[in-house]
Structure 1
Amino acid sequence: MKTYPWLNKEYIPETVILANGEFPTHSLPVTLLNNSQYTICCDGAVEMYVQAGYIPSAIVGDLDSLDNNNKHKFASILYPDKDQETNDLTKAFHFCLKQNRKKISILGATGKREDHTLANISLLADYMDHAQVEMVTDYGIFTPISLTSEIECLPGQPISLFCMDLYPITTIGLKYPLYERIVTRWWQATLNEALANKFIIQTKGKVIVFRGYLPNL
């Protein structure tokens, strides 16, 4: 059984992908951005990232959102990808794999357009087949899991589960337990709550786990 730890502000990400959603403001994703050893910017995220005082390690995308000034300034770290079958987040993810970077924290992937947010969250179910990946937002952390898993958390923490297939799911350690439940809609396993410092999900399928922040954390 695999254990998924709760991230804290001491964590040093091996690789961060910064997408072109809302720029992080919560203290946890901001700290991860500060601690990052290597940050890949989707091209639409570059302007905000640079304005915040950072320098990207690499810029990936079709580069249509990058102004001429930044194209010139960062010419040596531009990695254009014109594939129209994938979005810029996936292009950045594939770039990580080519660089053998397989421990990835994704920031800035939610907010703004809701269709982009839903698409980016659902992509975690694909990414997990190739890398250890989590999406950290201003409201919590999305972690994709498969098979039976132990999830570290905080007592009282908001928990939502999004099943990506029709395998039965059982939970242990949540306020509203599920037993051999087949979840057919995304809302059906949301708005739960952790009872202790960990909970267990038993399944043979893929589940995206959301752990929300507690107030003042």
Structure 2
Amino acid sequence: MKRALVITGGQVSLNQIKEVVANASFDLKIGVDHGIDYMAECDIIPDVILGDFDSCQRDVLSAYEKRHIEKIVFPDKKDMTDTQLAFEWLEERSVDEVVVLGGTGSRMDHTLANLFLMIDYGKTFNITFLDPYNRIRLAKSRQTIDQSIYKYISLLPLSEYVHNVSISGVKYPLNKATLKSSSSYGISNEITSKAATILVGEGELLIIESKD
């Protein structure tokens, strides 16, 4: 399995970045614009840096350039977010799994745009967004979610409707339910067993594990 780490410029915890890198191996590490500042603070050497580099520190960019890190520059006037540009780059490299840190944050427009990217790019590789409070993934037709540090588990439709949704091992189980994007019906469940099992019939569904 080929795994990639993407660090971009949203909300991050440096301790979380260090923990992720220490506990998992990555074949590719990509720094995206301001994300290269976080990588430098964590002593991470990226394989490639990309973006328009309008929000990163000049000295960090210069230091990576001196190391001859591959740099891909895009104009500041472009049709994609830097995160989508990273996904485009990864699509050509036969990656199986992508972990993204800094893909969410105070800019709600960027957060929502990045999450909606999972609809298309999630067909090419498995994507996990991490921030200090959440782990966000696109649901498969069947998967198991182990009980963990995250207290809450929510099911949030990306498509207008998601049909035949079942979840067991939780406080509020569902059996072949239809969830719609205009409802908050799937929010703030809790895993009460060692693991929850989720089944999805049709539609695009986010699994959001959260902690306060």
Q: TM-score, normalised by structure 2?
A: 0.82
Unpaired segments of 5 or more residues in structure 2? none
Residues 138, 123 of structure 1: alpha-carbon distance in 2 compared, 3 angstrom cutoff: same
Q: Distance in 2 between matches of 1:30 and 1:71?
A: 20
Q: What number of residue pairs does the alignment pair up?
A: 201
Q: Distance in 1 between matches of 2:38 and 2:146?
A: 31
Q: Distance in 2 between matches of 1:204 and 1:92?
A: 28
Q: Is the 8 A contact 2:165 2:201 kept in 1?
A: yes
- Determine helix, strand or coil for the equivalent of 1:192: coil
> What is aligned with 2:29?
39
**1:206 aligned to 2:196?**
no
Instruction: Identify which of 10, 13, 22 aligns with 1:24.
Output: 13
Q: Which amino acid aligns with 1:205?
A: G
Q: Distance in 2 between matches of 1:145 and 1:202?
A: 7
Q: Distance in 2 between matches of 1:102 and 1:13?
A: 5
Q: Describe how 1:20-99 pairs up with structure 2 within 5 A.
A: 20-25=9-14, 27=16, 29-34=17-22, 35-37=24-26, 38-75=28-65, 76=68, 77-82=70-75, 84-99=78-93
> What is aligned with 2:147?
154
Q: Describe how 1:155-170 pairs up with structure 2 within 5 A.
A: 157-165=151-159, 166-170=161-165
Q: Which amino acid aligns with 1:21?
A: G
Residues 13, 100 of structure 1: alpha-carbon distance in 2 compared, 3 angstrom cutoff: closer
Q: Is the 8 A contact 2:162 2:200 kept in 1?
A: no
Q: Which amino acid aligns with 1:74?
A: Y
**1:192 aligned to 2:189?**
yes
* Deviation for aligned residue 1:64: 2.5
Share of identical aligned residues, percent? 20
Q: Which amino acid aligns with 1:20?
A: G
Q: Distance in 2 between matches of 1:184 and 1:95?
A: 30
Q: Distance in 2 between matches of 1:15 and 1:111?
A: 21
> What is aligned with 1:105?
99
Per-residue deviation, residues 73-127 of structure 1 (Å, max 9, x unmatched): 3233211233711100011111112232231111111123222222222222222
Compute the RMSD of aligned alpha carbons: 2.6
Decide which moves more: 174-183 or 136-145.
Answer: 174-183
Q: Distance in 2 between matches of 1:33 and 1:194?
A: 27
Q: Distance in 2 between matches of 1:184 and 1:63?
A: 35
Q: TM-score, normalised by structure 1?
A: 0.80
Q: Distance in 1 between matches of 2:42 and 2:2?
A: 19
> What is aligned with 2:139?
145
Q: Is the 8 A contact 1:151 1:198 kept in 2?
A: yes
Unpaired segments of 5 or more residues in structure 1? 1-11
**1:135 aligned to 2:132?**
no
